[in-house]
């Protein structure tokens, strides 16, 4: 923190001397009290326009509970609310009230996927003002960013920051001045971890240790917000200490109150296979899907997604990360319109729709997976509770097992705990699931980050802290195993041509982020051998032709020759 303060002070001092016009743009934000007043007015207007439904009534009750609990002393809070319960606005209500109560300076909203960031940031802007919210992530469009917001992203001096888990946690372990610059502005803040169950299992230990450090010494409060609470609490498991978080306070009350909340928001029935190990073929699944006018099927890998989609009738939508962000956004918008207009719509997707994509299907199929993924999939079924009956969620065993590693362990853990259980989706099941999953994991600190940052954890017991090594090893996304390809979809064609002609200007590279697909290194080599990828600028690659990109399924890769663990999402 001292280093961060020094670095930022140096940057700002230099800026005031060398670029006074920039320095004058900084600051000028509303106070937390003013933001809370704006938010309350927004909520009042929203409630007046909202339909008088049971789901909306429960959402208002959840928000009221958040405001009440915000006056509690600082620390670590959990917000356990079923999918579709209005966590986004309720968590912001808590954060603003908590910040006002404890004179905190800002709210930092940490989200796992950039696709959710844009959606949530828009909600926040509507609630508290366009210029009060700063997005900090790789996909932000330079045309949408103001000079003021671009400066605020450098050191997080705005009142509300919306960022990714990768940006937030990797910055906490970083050794570069540009990334450490903002860290001192995490002091005196409320940090909301949205969809916290997606914290990478292999980094759980160093992440939880750092969170506890920020709470104990830097006046930070955390809100762990999700429908499927991970087992982050410190506990003894089979005689071993799990060094988790201490004194987590549940905003929605005690376990019985949370249980009643979950029961009040049951909008669908989750149907597991009678024979928990019985496998369904893609042909069988496709035939079942064809019998519904509106249905969503979620599978665990790209290859399965494409195989099943190929068996579906023409007009069935496909969603996976082999499609660039701009393409996915277009398809999601079309799907939502068809759902709203009660038109026939069938979708086959990877799990990318399980967080932040507010679909509302009457029927959802989910390939066997972790219990948290099944719950998130169920959150895309009868979300608004408008069906005259409960929605239908069908869990099935696909012909291909999940990839080796965590995804398979997650599915196996679910299989072992739902046997002979009356209500597999009960709130209490999620803690049981995560405790077992963490116990089965090979490591909760696969790179030994906590040891590297322990001054006396070495053979000589000397005071040595390996900051730079820890920074190099803490990589939530391992860039060394992936390559980014710019695709010729929509405006991507013209942008790639501009890149070839003018080189990688910052604004151009930002725009191109919406037209990228990440592939694994061996896939990339295969595409290069086929002539599908060309180097348009040193170490910058793009598709050589739009023939290698499908309007239906995105980037065309020959998946037969690769290890299945490469085809996640």
- Listed as ranges, residues in the chain with pLDDT below 70 are 15, 19-27, 115, 137-154, 239, 456-462, 478-481, 558-569
The DSSP call for residue 317 is: E
pTM as predicted: 0.85
For the CA atoms of 327, 332, 335, 341, the dihedral, rounded to the nearest 10 degrees, stands at: -120
Query: CATH for 266-440?
Result: 3.40.50.300
3-state DSSP: the chain helix, strand, coil percent, rounded to 5? 50, 20, 35
In whole angstroms, give the CA distance from residue 421 to residue 438. 21
Task: For the chain, give the longest Cα–Cα distance.
Answer: 72
For position 140, what pLDDT does the model report? 46
For position 563, what pLDDT does the model report? 41
Helix (H) or strand (E) holding 194: strand 189-194
Strands 235-237 and 240-242: antiparallel
- What residues contact 290, with CB distance under 8 A and at least 6 apart? 312, 313, 346
> Do 2-262 and 266-440 share a fold?
yes
460: its two tokens: 């000589």
For position 560, what pLDDT does the model report? 40
For position 45, what pLDDT does the model report? 94
For position 361, what pLDDT does the model report? 97
Among residues 500, 499, 495, 449, the alpha carbon closest in space to that of 470 is found at 449
For position 210, what pLDDT does the model report? 96
Instruction: Assign 87 to helix, strand or coil.
Output: helix
For position 393, what pLDDT does the model report? 98
Q: Are 398 and 304 in contact (CB under 8 A)?
A: yes
Q: Are 228 and 430 in contact (CB under 8 A)?
A: yes
Give me the residue spans of the domains in the chain: 2-262, 266-440, 479-566
Among residues 293, 314, 315, 318, the alpha carbon closest in space to that of 304 is found at 318
Written as one string, the DSSP assignment of 35-65 is: HHHHHHHHHHHHHHHS---HHHHHHHHHHHH
- What residues contact 226, with CB distance under 8 A and at least 6 apart? 79, 80, 87, 194, 195, 196, 197
In whole angstroms, give the CA distance from residue 108 to residue 444. 25
Query: CATH for 2-262?
Result: 3.40.50.300
Q: Are 301 and 400 in contact (CB under 8 A)?
A: yes
For position 462, what pLDDT does the model report? 65
Rg (alpha carbons) of the chain, rounded to whole number: 24
For position 22, what pLDDT does the model report? 60
């Amino acid at each position: 923190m001292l280093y961060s303060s020094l670095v930022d002070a140096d940057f700002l001092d230099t800026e005031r001397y060398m670029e006074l016009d920039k320095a004058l743009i900084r600051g000028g934000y509303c106070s937390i009290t003013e933001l809370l007043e704006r938010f309350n007015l927004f909520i009042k207007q929203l409630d007046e326009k909202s339909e008088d439904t049971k789901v909306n009534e429960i959402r208002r009750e959840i928000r009221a509970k958040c405001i009440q609990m915000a006056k509690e002393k600082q620390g670590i809070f959990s917000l356990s609310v079923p999918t579709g319960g209005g966590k986004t606005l309720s968590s912001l209500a808590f954060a603003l009230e908590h910040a006002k109560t404890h004179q905190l300076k800002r709210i930092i909203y940490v989200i796992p996927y950039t696709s959710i960031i844009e959606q949530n940031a828009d909600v926040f802007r509507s609630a508290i003002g366009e210029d009060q919210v700063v997005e900090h992530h790789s996909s932000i469009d330079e045309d949408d960013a103001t000079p003021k917001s671009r400066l605020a992203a450098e050191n997080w001096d705005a009142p509300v920051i919306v960022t990714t888990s990768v940006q937030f946690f990797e910055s906490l372990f970083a050794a570069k001045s540009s990334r450490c610059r903002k860290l001192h502005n995490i002091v005196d803040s409320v940090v909301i971890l949205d969809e916290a169950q997606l914290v990478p299992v292999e980094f759980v230990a160093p992440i939880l240790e750092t969170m506890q450090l920020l709470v104990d010494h830097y006046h930070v409060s955390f809100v762990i917000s999700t429908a499927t609470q991970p087992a982050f609490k410190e506990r003894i498991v089979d005689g071993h200490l799990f060094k988790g978080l201490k004194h987590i306070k549940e905003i929605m009350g005690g376990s019985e109150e949370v249980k009643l909340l979950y029961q009040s928001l049951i909008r669908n029935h989750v149907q597991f296979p009678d024979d928990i190990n019985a496998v369904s073929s893609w042909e069988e699944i496709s035939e079942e899907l064809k019998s519904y006018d509106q249905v969503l099927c979620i599978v665990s890998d790209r290859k399965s997604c494409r195989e099943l989609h190929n068996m579906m009738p023409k007009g069935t939508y496909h969603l996976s990360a082999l499609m660039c962000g701009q393409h996915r956004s277009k398809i999601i918008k079309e799907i939502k319109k068809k759902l709203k207009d009660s038109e026939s719509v069938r979708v086959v997707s990877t799990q990318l729709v399980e967080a932040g994509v507010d679909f509302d299907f009457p029927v959802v199929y989910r390939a066997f997976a972790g219990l948290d993924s099944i719950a998130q999939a169920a959150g895309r079924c009868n979300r608004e509770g408008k069906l005259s009956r409960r929605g239908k969620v069908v869990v099935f065993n696909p012909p291909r097992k999940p990839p080796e590693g965590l995804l398979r362990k997650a599915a196996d853990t679910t299989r072992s705990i739902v046997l002979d259980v009356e209500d597999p989706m009960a709130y209490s099941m999620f803690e049981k699931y995560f405790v077992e999953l963490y116990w089965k994991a090979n490591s909760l600190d696969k790179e030994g980050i906590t040891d590297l940052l322990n001054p006396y954890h070495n053979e000589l017991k000397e005071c040595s802290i390996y900051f730079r090594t820890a920074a190099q090893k803490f990589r939530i996304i391992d860039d060394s195993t992936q390559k980014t390809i710019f695709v010729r979809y929509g405006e991507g064609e013209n942008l790639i041509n501009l890149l070839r002609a003018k080189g990688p200007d910052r604004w151009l590279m930002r725009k191109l982020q919406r037209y990228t697909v990440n592939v694994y290194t061996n896939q990339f080599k295969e595409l290069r051998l086929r002539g599908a990828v060309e180097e348009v600028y040193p170490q910058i690659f793009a598709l050589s032709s739009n023939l290698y990109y499908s309007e239906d399924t995105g980037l065309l890769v020959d998946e037969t020759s690769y290890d299945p663990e490469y085809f996640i999402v």
